[in-house]
Amino acid sequence: MQSRTDRSARKGRHHDEARDWLVKLSSGAADNQDLTRFQAWLEDCSENREAFETERRFWQSLDFLADGRATVGKPGIKVGRRTLITGGLAAAAAGIVA
């Protein structure tokens, strides 16, 4: 029987791998071999697919930034989409670690 810590570590690993795939696939640098490896990873287990869908939905939730920028805090202070995504990923990683 797996302990709660073991399950959490596995879940974290799946999400880490899913984020890595999202970064790779959205970078424009993925080639056919990468796509083949991604498909194999996705089909390897249901946890991979679930983690990828969760991470994909998170990234898509940021699509409200139609022009790629959002005002945060004081008017006139702009945060770019890349910064917002990086911050979101860092927060998600911190949540997993906690």
Per-residue pLDDT at 1: 46
**Average pLDDT of adjacent 10-residue blocks, the chain of 98 residues:** 53 89 88 93 93 88 60 53 66 58
Q: Where are the domains of the chain?
A: 4-97
Give me the sign of the Cα torsion angle 69, 72, 74, 75.
positive
Per-residue pLDDT at 86: 67
Residue type, 96: I
What's the rounded Cα separation, in Å, for the pair 85 and 79? 10
pTM of the model: 0.56
How distant, in Å, are the alpha carbons of 26, 58, 68, 75, 77 from that of 49? 17, 14, 28, 40, 37
Residue type, 87: G
